[in-house]
Structures are given as structure tokens and as C-alpha cells.
A and B are shown apart, each in its own frame.
Chain A
């Protein structure tokens, strides 16, 4: 179970994952030794899985991001497995999510520009198996993207 100190560490660490161990301990109001021990424990318990770098795809020349909402042909018993396995082979697919609701799956696809996107859409996306319906949403802006959990 998490203690109040653990929660305090997680709150500060989530808001600024680039903090070094000394600064994090300082913000959480504990000694560096306590902070290191708590972090080790939460990592060992699998509560903290990783501290990951976040890539700015736009800075790398990928100007377009599209969300594809996909409905699958559920008369095919292996539709989900086969669709996902094939989608993994498309490098420009950066996220695959499955849902309970009006749509079955969502793919996040990045492309250099609209021409590149159109080419990807025709050559890679439409080729994915068992698609019954597909709907594209274009990203305009991210208003909030810190993905902080209210622990």
C-alpha cells in the first residue's frame, strides 16, 4: 500500500519527471536517502514502470497526426488479433488502443505532410484486415497532455 509520503513523491515526480533525485527529495520535503528508498520500493513493486523520454514528432518532421477510429468486422473471430498484429508492422502507427463502446479500435498515425498521409492511408492503412468502418479525426492542438494521475 502507498503511504502519504509515496503519494507526495509521485505527485511531484509526475509533474516534473526530469527532476534529479536531490531536487525531488527537496520538493517532497524528505531526505534524499528516504526518497531513493521509496522510489526503489515503488519501482520494485511495479507501481513506477519507467521514466520515459517523450519524442516531439513534429520536431522530427512529422507535421500531421491523425486519429483513425476503426470498427472491425466481428463476424471474423480473429479480427482483433489479426488487425493489431498487422497494424504493428506500420512504423507510422504510434498508438494502438482497443475500446468498449461505439468504436473498436483507435490508431494514432503520424505523417510528414498530407501527401505522405494520403500515401500511408492508401498503401498501409486500407490494407489492414477486417475493417468494417473507418473514420479519421485530425489533431489540431493539444491543450493538456501531462497525463498526470491524481494520486
Chain B
């Protein structure tokens, strides 16, 4: 486990807000020299505390007006069908995330579509035809808020 001090946490928060900020900008905000800020940023990436970056896009402006979370239960269980399902579902471009969960459903999918009729097309042609798919529950996303988490 990676231990962070308060300065690391503040840097982490800055990088979650905007990962393209130069070390000098972050250093200025937190009262660190450019080399000191750079070394800490480097360590956050190298140690794996930061696992990557994500482009935050305005979905609606790009024509994706609808996000739906699907809870999928597999009809037939077994090692083979899980692998087949995961491979097939991951290949669908409209499926943004695939999570294997324990509880009511086997998988949770985040699906984007242009509108409700486009979503219906994705659901019928792509999702319902997946190998082993059983019950599907749909919840339409109305709002979403990502919180900073326990780093501040």
C-alpha cells in the first residue's frame, strides 16, 4: 500500500481536476518548487497511485444524450459462458464499462446512446443477442457526480 502525506493528497486532487497542469503550476499553488512538485507527481504515477488518465467529454455536445445502466443476469452459468459473454460485451462500442459484480446481477454495463430509440437499437441488436444473456434491468442515468474521495 502506498502511503501519502497531506501534500501528496493535495497534488492528487489537482491532478484529478486537470492532469495536464505543469509541475510548476501545481508547485505554485501548493508552495513547492518546480522540481519538488515534479518529483512528487512522478512518484504518484510511478507508484501506481494514479493508474491513468481519462478524458472528460461533454456527452450531450457530442450527440450522446442517453446513458443507461444495465444489470445483466446470465441465463447459463459456467466458466466458458462467462468468458464468451465478457469478450462479446467488451467489443460493443456503445458499452463504456463492464463490471463483474456480486449480488442481484452478474454484470453491470454502462451504455451510451444518441437517444432512446438508438438505445433500443443497441439493446435489441447488440445486448439481447449476447451469448448467455438472461434477465436485463435498465436504469436511465439522470445525473452523476464524481466525488474527490477520501484524499482531502
Residues of A within 8 A of B (CB): 2, 10, 13-14, 17-18, 45-57, 59-62, 67, 84, 88, 91-103, 106, 110, 135-151
Contact = CB atoms under 8 A, between A and B. Distances in A.
A149 B102 CA distance: 27
Contacts of A51: 18-20, 53-56
A81 to B, nearest CB: 12
Contacts of B12: 53, 55
Contacts of B53: 17-18, 51-54
A88 B143 CA distance: 14
Contacts of B57: 10, 14, 47-49, 149
Contact of A60 (B1, B18, B58, B102): B1
Given A53-B15, A101-B140, A95 B50 contact: no
Nearest to A7: B62
Contact of B54 (A46, A54, A141, A143): A54
A92 B149 contact: yes
Interface of B: 1-2, 4, 12, 15-20, 44, 47-59, 61-62, 64, 69, 86, 89-90, 93-105, 107-108, 110, 112, 137-152
Contacts of A137: 101-105, 108
Instruction: For the complex of A and B, list the 9 residue pairs with the smallest distance between their C-beta atoms, beginning with the closest.
Output: A101-B139, A137-B103, A53-B15, A150-B93, A17-B53, A56-B51, A143-B98, A99-B139, A61-B1
Contacts of A14: 55, 57
Contact of A102 (B94, B112, B139, B152): B139
A99 B151 CA distance: 27
A135 to B, nearest CB: 7
B51 A139 contact: no
Contacts of B62: 2, 10, 47, 149, 151
Contacts of A55: 12, 16, 49-51, 149, 151
